[in-house]
Amino acid sequence: MASTERLYDMCVVGAGIIGSAAARHASMIARISVCVIGPDEPQSRSVDDGREIYGAHYDEGRITRNSDEDRAWAVFAQESIKRYRYLEKASGINFYNEVGYIIAGDKDGEFIHQSTEMVQGLDTYYVDPAEMKKQFPFFDFNANDAGIYEQKSSGFISPRNMIKAQLKLAQLNGCDVIIDVVSDITRILSEDKENVMEIKTDSGKKIMSKKVLIATGAFTSFRNLLGKDIHPDVNLFGANVAKVEINENDARNLSDMPSVYYCGKGQGHWNKEFPGCQSGEYRFYMLPPIKYPDDRYYIKMGFRLDIGDIHLSNIEAVKNWYCSGGIPSVNKAVATLITDVVTDISMVSFHGDCCVICTTPTRRPYIDMIHSQLGVAIGGNGWAAKSGDEIGRIAAMLVIKNEWDSSLPKEYFKFRCKTENV
């Protein structure tokens, strides 16, 4: 390493939900120099442009909640949510809307029974079928549907603005934010006879750092980031949502609408072509009206089946999916169901949107060291947006201090390699 080049203590590769959080937490450690590298948000999505890297966080709405059937994800969420208001106040950037979250479904069904056990110890309350319509008149649920309501410390976040808040605070702490895409990471022997990490970018930059944290999500496998013979055991799947545009008056009338997860039989008039309807049971999540950067209000709905329908195995497939706008028939079916479930709204327009879910065999993220100078925090499994601050914090402490700073067992998050590159 030439003496004129700066040597960082830590470089975070990936400036999304987890990477931006890791950069902020690392930047808070005294006498630690940090940089974070990632691309700007694209102004458009087109298969014809030269861009390859996209992100699920270019959005205004992700559900946040304290409850989860997996203890690890519940802890990640709870610890992250505790810091939301601090992040907003310190950065001056608002991203958290505490509108509440309701789990809804057949009062006698297994889903509500399991959910009741899942929320034990949390600040929630049961809403019986007789009260559902009174408390949530804007939902046309089944007469037998009950709910479990998280009224506090839940609702939705703007992942786009959360990242802006994280990066702003990291910069205030001295972190360098480098707008670029990393193409290659190699451990080399410096002129001082010490191993350092050399990070090369698409624009030709070369950054040197003592340690590196990889937080590149679905794109980790497509660049030489972990070493030529190290292939993370992850699978990539396409997720398709639809957004229904409503007018400002309808949005105002739905100002008390919480975020929703539904599993039940629904109403007889609900759209049977909805992809999340199997064996007569509907499963979907839905967010209340959110004002997007185009100054329009949208209600978003998505669904999570047994993941596997849209398997993405290379960077071209990932890019094409991000740029596709979803499957037209799916977009229409989801949009129709939104108008079936939410009462008294007029649909102005609708469109689809796409993201990529990076899954692991354990359904938990990898937070681990590949070697003494290279760590990873990848594998959001579709649940990381609300929980990224805590995942990033744990990863930053692991890389910088070689400490596992969590009540959760470290073994839960051990990195796994594929035995062959597939």
Is 85 inside any structural domain?
A: no
Are 206 and 139 found together in one domain? no
Q: Sign of dihedral through CA atoms 197, 178, 15, 237?
A: negative
Are 334 and 367 found together in one domain? no
| CATH at residue 337 | 3.30.9.10
Are 285 and 406 found together in one domain? no
In this predicted structure, what is the pLDDT of residue 276? 86
Is 77 inside any structural domain?
A: no
Are 201 and 297 found together in one domain? no
Are 368 and 315 found together in one domain? no
Are 208 and 347 found together in one domain? no
Give yes or no for a contact between 169 and 24, defined as CB atoms under 8 angstroms apart: yes
Of the candidates 198, 202, 201, 180, the residue with the CA atom closest to the CA atom of residue 190: 198
Is 303 inside any structural domain?
A: yes
| CATH at residue 33 | 3.50.50.60
Q: Which domain holds residue 125?
A: 101-151+235-359
Residue 385 has a CB neighbour count (10 Å cut-off) of 25
- Residue 224 one-letter amino acid: N
- Whole-model pTM: value is 0.95
* C-alpha gyration radius of the chain: 22
In this predicted structure, what is the pLDDT of residue 305? 54
Q: Cα(151)–Cα(149) distance, rounded to whole angstroms?
A: 6
Is 205 inside any structural domain?
A: yes
Is 401 inside any structural domain?
A: yes
In this predicted structure, what is the pLDDT of residue 420? 59
Q: Cα(124)–Cα(281) distance, rounded to whole angstroms?
A: 25
In this predicted structure, what is the pLDDT of residue 291? 97
The number of domains in the chain is 2
Is 74 inside any structural domain?
A: no
Of the candidates 359, 380, 402, which is a domain's last residue?
359
Are 352 and 309 found together in one domain? yes
Of the candidates 332, 359, 386, which is a domain's last residue?
359
Is 296 inside any structural domain?
A: yes
pLDDT digits (tens, 9 = 90+) for 212-252: 999 999 999 999 999 988 999 999 999 999 999 999 999 99
- Provide the CA 319 distance to its chain's centre, in angstroms: 18
In tens digits, the chain (422 residues) has pLDDT values of 444 478 999 999 999 999 999 999 999 999 999 999 999 998 888 888 888 888 888 899 999 999 999 999 999 999 999 999 999 999 999 999 999 999 999 999 999 999 999 999 999 999 999 999 999 999 999 999 999 999 999 999 999 999 999 999 999 999 999 999 999 999 997 777 689 999 999 999 999 999 999 999 999 999 999 998 899 999 999 999 999 999 999 999 999 999 999 999 999 999 999 998 878 899 999 999 999 999 999 999 999 754 447 899 999 999 999 999 999 999 999 999 999 999 999 999 999 999 999 999 999 999 999 999 999 999 999 999 999 999 999 999 999 999 999 999 999 999 999 875 44
Are 262 and 302 found together in one domain? yes
Of the candidates 153, 105, 98, 155, the residue with the CA atom closest to the CA atom of residue 126: 105
Are 242 and 336 found together in one domain? yes
Are 300 and 187 found together in one domain? no
- Provide the CA 30 distance to its chain's centre, in angstroms: 29
Are 131 and 255 found together in one domain? yes
Of the candidates 359, 376, 396, which is a domain's last residue?
359
Is 73 inside any structural domain?
A: no
Q: How far is CA 52 from CA 77, 190, 314, 316, 369, in A?
A: 30, 32, 11, 8, 27
- Please work out, in degrees rounded to the nearest 5, the angle formed at the alpha carbon of residue 274 by the alpha carbons of 331 and 239: 55
Please provide the DSSP assignment of 60-116 as one string: S-EEE-S--SSHHHHHHHHHHHTTHHHHHHHHT---EE---EEEEEETTSHHHHHHH
- Residue 69 one-letter amino acid: E
Give yes or no for a contact between 334 and 364, defined as CB atoms under 8 angstroms apart: no
Residue for token digits 């990932």?
318
Are 185 and 142 found together in one domain? no
In this predicted structure, what is the pLDDT of residue 193? 65
Residue 31 has a CB neighbour count (10 Å cut-off) of 5
